[in-house]
Structure 1
Amino acid sequence: MGEQPTTAADAGSREDPRKVRSRARLLDAATALLVKGGTEAVTIDAVTRAAKVARATLYRHFDSGTELLAAAFGRLVPPVAAEPEGGDLREQLVSLLTAQAKLIEEAPMQLTAMCWLGMGPGLGDHPDHSDRPELRSLRRHIAEQYRLPFDRIFAGTPARELLGDMDRELALAQLVGPIVFTRLATLPPLGPDACERIVDDFLRARSAAQ
């Protein structure tokens, strides 16, 4: 009989357990440093020292400190907000924005800033980074966190009929921007009532523009 095709599960099961352990130790160390001291604390020397792993071993897992930092941030990305079920456009936006506000408030400050500011220099869509899985994975997490739930609502018939064609990035900034600003400015978090007012102001302004 011919050889059976190799599956991802088969490949994963044959991965060297020492390699798995060393990668986990590096990520544990990088994540702990990130939470405690911010991005400046996540240096190659600090991570290898905390993980008790050689620099050569780190570079077998990550091509650069930027990729290691992206992997550490990836561990801190909160779960994607659940899409609201049922209700009209206003109810869906209020429900989603309230859930987003809770996730943003619970996320580490460094992660909130990085997500909102496009992940800063070195973590953007530079062509040299297009083939790096950690960077692609982080951007995908962030897109799912902030954009996709809103995009799905805006793509629906009720939103298209009421709001027409619009700049979705601008709409996202108008809706989520106040939540993020409040977090970055260390102001008291905005609760459900504030989220309702933000949505109402957004819908009123968009309807007036039609």
Structure 2
Amino acid sequence: MPAPLDTSSQAREPDPRLARSRARLIDAATELLAEGGVDAVTIDAVIRRAGVARATLYRHFGSGTELLAAAFQQLLPPVASAPEVGSLRSRLVALVCDQARLIDQAPLQLTVLSWMGMSNPEADRRTTEDDASRPHLTALRHRIIEQYRGPFDAILASEAARASLRPAIEATTAVAQFVGPMIFNRLVTGLPNDQQFCTVLVDDFLAANAARKTNEVMDVVDQNEQ
């Protein structure tokens, strides 16, 4: 009598058909996104382009928002590395100029930032349940934070930064101080995010966060006590 087949390993292996259908859905969503923007990525358009059933889409993605988040994540460029040579000021200027070019020359960046702002619950109301129920949106948010924050983390953790700047500068705050004005220029004022503007941002940041000598700090304390 032949030995029974061991199906335990087969049961543990993922169904390749699921991987293929998921890939087709993301490919369809990214194509529609590139062709017509966010409004073009509807459930009906995606399943028609991908050639899959609606139930298959919802097996992979809990909502159209989740599908869009997965598509955005696939389209985003890799996280850029921080400049490694030069003074603290020159490295920051080079990095901020790179971020400015990314914002000005890649419409996808502004699209995803605007879409994220409308899709995310307000920060003070967002819960771990929200994150757990929308894993693709959560992953996209972390990816965007890393894309902007990662290079600043590297520079602000350098010896030059520790020697020149006040302690405990939070990289996310620094990113907001640099990237916020550039996005405002791009969306509202129409002013150029050129090297001169980026240099002003860096110089203002360095001046506001410069390490203060002990005697200078004591002078401020004395003035406040008078």
Residue 182 of structure 2, aligned match among 179, 183, 190: 179
> What residue number does 2:205 align with?
202
Q: Write the distance in 1 (CA, Å) between the matches of 2:28 and 2:195.
A: 36
Q: CA deviation at 1:60?
A: 1.7
Q: Write the distance in 1 (CA, Å) between the matches of 2:175 and 2:79.
A: 16
> What residue number does 1:35 align with?
34
> What residue number does 1:126 align with?
127
What is the TM-score of this pair, normalised by structure 1?
Answer: 0.77
Worse-superposed segment, 181-190 or 103-112: 181-190
Q: Which runs of structure 1 show a deviation greater than 6 angstroms over 4 or more consecutive aligned residues?
A: none
Q: Write the distance in 1 (CA, Å) between the matches of 2:175 and 2:76.
A: 19
**CA RMSD, aligned part only?**
2.9
Give the conservation status (yes or no) of the 8 Å contact 1:129–1:135: no
Instruction: Give the partner amino acid of 1:151.
Output: D
Give the conservation status (yes or no) of the 8 Å contact 1:73–1:138: yes
**Secondary structure of 1:159 counterpart:** helix
Fraction of identical pairs, as percent: 51
Give the conservation status (yes or no) of the 8 Å contact 1:84–1:92: yes
> What residue number does 1:101 align with?
100
Seen in structure 2, the aligned counterparts of structure 1 residues 55 and 189 have a Cα distance that, compared at 3 Å, is: farther
Q: Write the distance in 2 (CA, Å) between the matches of 1:164 and 1:180.
A: 26
> What residue number does 2:46 align with?
47
> What residue number does 1:141 align with?
143
1:136-175 deviations in Å (ceiling 9; x for gaps): 4312311211112112222333223322134543322221
Q: CA deviation at 1:83?
A: 1.4
What does 1:41-120 align with in structure 2 at a 5 Å threshold? 41-105=40-104, 106-108=106-108, 109-114=110-115, 117=117, 120=119
Give the conservation status (yes or no) of the 8 Å contact 2:165–2:211: no
> What residue number does 1:18 align with?
17
What is the TM-score of this pair, normalised by structure 2?
Answer: 0.72
Q: Write the distance in 1 (CA, Å) between the matches of 2:97 and 2:80.
A: 10
Seen in structure 2, the aligned counterparts of structure 1 residues 53 and 35 have a Cα distance that, compared at 3 Å, is: same
Q: CA deviation at 1:186?
A: 7.9
Seen in structure 2, the aligned counterparts of structure 1 residues 89 and 50 have a Cα distance that, compared at 3 Å, is: same
**Secondary structure of 1:130 counterpart:** helix
Q: Write the distance in 1 (CA, Å) between the matches of 2:189 and 2:70.
A: 26
For structure 2, the residue ranges without an aligned partner over 5 or more in a row are: 1-8, 218-226
Give the conservation status (yes or no) of the 8 Å contact 1:77–1:111: no
Q: Write the distance in 2 (CA, Å) between the matches of 1:186 and 1:34.
A: 27
